[in-house]
Amino acid sequence: RTLKTRLQPKIVTLVAVQNKAGQWLLYRRKHQPLIGQVGFPYGKLHLGETVAEAATRELMEKTGLSCKLTHRGDGYIIINEGGEPISQICFHLFYGRNPTGTLREETPYGEMFWSDSKTDFSKPPYMVSMADLIKQIQKPTKSRFFVELIYK
């Protein structure tokens, strides 16, 4: 019997951060899948760390920023192209405001920048999930959300 590598969903932390002006911290991808698209900074969990530890670490590693993060929700995002999944993640979304530090704008994986105050997140180059995730974050609730978002 041979063991064949199989593509599987990733477990990630998404980090949604706003500055004092209400702008969102964004990440333009430099690699596949979804190269060139813009979304929230994210990263994979490391073996042995909690999701909160992963979110804090990823924010610092990817952006050079830190702030108090709150676990706002969880879910699945599946993005299909031509009837086939090209990206599938199980995510834990953390939210923070008014980060400190110096933004690291360029990394090998992507570019970090602040959104324009009038950004329409429902149109390219923004990831198809951006508008839906921001709606979830902005809902006035004390409980965590759970969503399953599937895009064609």
The CB density around residue 73, as the number of other CB atoms within 10 Å, is 21
Backbone angles phi, psi at 59, to 5 degrees: -60, -45
Q: Each residue of 51-71: pLDDT tens digit? A: 999 999 999 999 999 999 999
pLDDT confidence tier of residue 4, bands split at 50, 70 and 90: low
Beta bridge partners, 150, equal 78
Beta bridge partners, 76, equal 90, 148
Q: What is the pTM of this model?
A: 0.91
Segment 108-117 mean pLDDT: 90
Q: Each residue of 117-145: pLDDT tens digit? A: 789 999 999 999 999 999 999 998 889 99
**Is residue 141 classed as helix, strand or coil in its secondary structure?**
coil
